[in-house]
Structure 1
Amino acid sequence: MKHLVFAILAAAGLGACSPNAQVPAPQAPAASASLDQPFPLHVGSRATVAGADVTVRFESVASDSRCPTGVQCVWAGNAVVRAVLSQGNKAFGAELNTTLEPKSVRYLDYQVALVSLTPQPAQGSAIDPSRYEATFVVTRAAQ
C-alpha cells in the first residue's frame, strides 16, 4: 500500500515538472506616470500615477470596429478598452471607448480617461493584440 501511495505522489510531482506545464509569468513592475499627463500602455502593462497613487493596467481590447485606414466609412467605429484601476487593495474594472461614451470614468478622487488607441485597423488585416497601445490620462475629479 505504501508503494502505491508513493507511486501516485511521484507521478503527480512529475506531471508538475513537465516541459508543457505553464508557469504564470511574473508581472512586470509598474511604470510611472504623472497626474494630468497622458501616458501610453501596451496590453498587459501598468503604470502608477505619482501624486495619486493610482495604478492603471491596460487589460485588453474587448472589441475594435474602428474604420480601417484608407477606407471611407459612414461611421468612424469604436473600440472598447478594458482597464483595471487600483489604489491599495481597492480595484475597479472599467471599459472605456474611443468614440462612444464612456470615454472616461471616475475612480475614487480621480478621473481616468482613454485618450487614444493605436494602431488604427488596416483593411484586410487583423491587429495582433500585443501591438495595441492605449494612452490614458488621470486627473483630479471635480468635487
Structure 2
Amino acid sequence: MDARKFAVIIGSAAVLAVGAGSSVALAHTLHVPAVPPRPASGTVAADPGRDVTLARGQEAQLSTKDLTVRYTRLVEDSRCPAHVQCVWSGDAVVAVQLSQPGRGEQTTSVLHTASRGPHATNYAAATVTLVDVSPSGDRITLRVS
C-alpha cells in the first residue's frame, strides 16, 4: 500500500471518529427532566426593571401594575452541560404564564435563552425578558419593565 492510500484511510477514519463523538455529545446535551421537580409555591414581589428569580410554579407580582408572571415549565433544554465541549451552546426554552388578575386575562409565552426564538415578550404594557435559566432548569431569572 502506498503512502497516499494510507493517508486517505487514516484521514477518513479520523473524520468518522470525530463525527461519531460529536453526535454522541449532541445527543447527550438534549435533555428534559423525566420527572419534573416539585413546583414551588408562593408569590414574590417584583420591582420594574429589576431581576427576579422564580422557581418552577412560583410567580412574581409586579409592584406597579396588575401583572403576574408564573414560571410554569422547562419546555426544552439543549444547553451544553458543564465540563463538556459542545459544537454549539444550545438553548433553554421556558414557558411563563402572564396574567392580569384584576381583569381576569392571561396568556402563555415561550421564551428562549438563544437567538433561535424570542427572549422577551410584551404583555399588559410591560416587557418580560428571560435573563437566565439555572443549569438544572428549576429556576429562571426574569426582568419585567
Q: TM-score, normalised by structure 2?
A: 0.67
CA contact (8 A) 1:35 1:52 kept: no
User: Runs of at least 4 residues of structure 1 off by over 2 A?
Assistant: none
Question: 1:79-138, CA deviations, whole angstroms, 9 ceiling, x for partnerless residues?
Answer: 11000001121101000001132000011201101000002xxxxxxx4xxx61100111
Q: Which has the higher helix share?
A: 2
Kindly indicate whether residue 71 of structure 2 is the aligned counterpart of residue 50 of structure 1: no
Q: Distance in 2 between matches of 1:29 and 1:40?
A: 13
Q: Distance in 2 between matches of 1:103 and 1:35?
A: 17
CA contact (8 A) 2:47 2:64 kept: yes
CA contact (8 A) 1:82 1:96 kept: yes
Match of 1:66, SS state, is coil
- Residue 95 of structure 1 corresponds to 110
CA contact (8 A) 1:63 1:79 kept: yes
Q: CA deviation at 1:53?
A: 2.4
Q: TM-score, normalised by structure 1?
A: 0.68
- Residue 30 of structure 1 corresponds to 43
Given the alignment, which residue of 57, 76, 79 partners 2:92?
79
Which residue identity does 2:143 align to in structure 1? V
The answer for unaligned runs of 5 or more in structure 1 is 1-26, 120-126
CA contact (8 A) 2:67 2:124 kept: no
Which residue identity does 1:65 align to in structure 2? S
Q: CA deviation at 1:73?
A: 1.1
CA contact (8 A) 1:85 1:92 kept: yes
Q: Distance in 2 between matches of 1:114 and 1:82?
A: 10
The answer for unaligned runs of 5 or more in structure 2 is 1-39
CA RMSD of aligned residues (A): 1.5
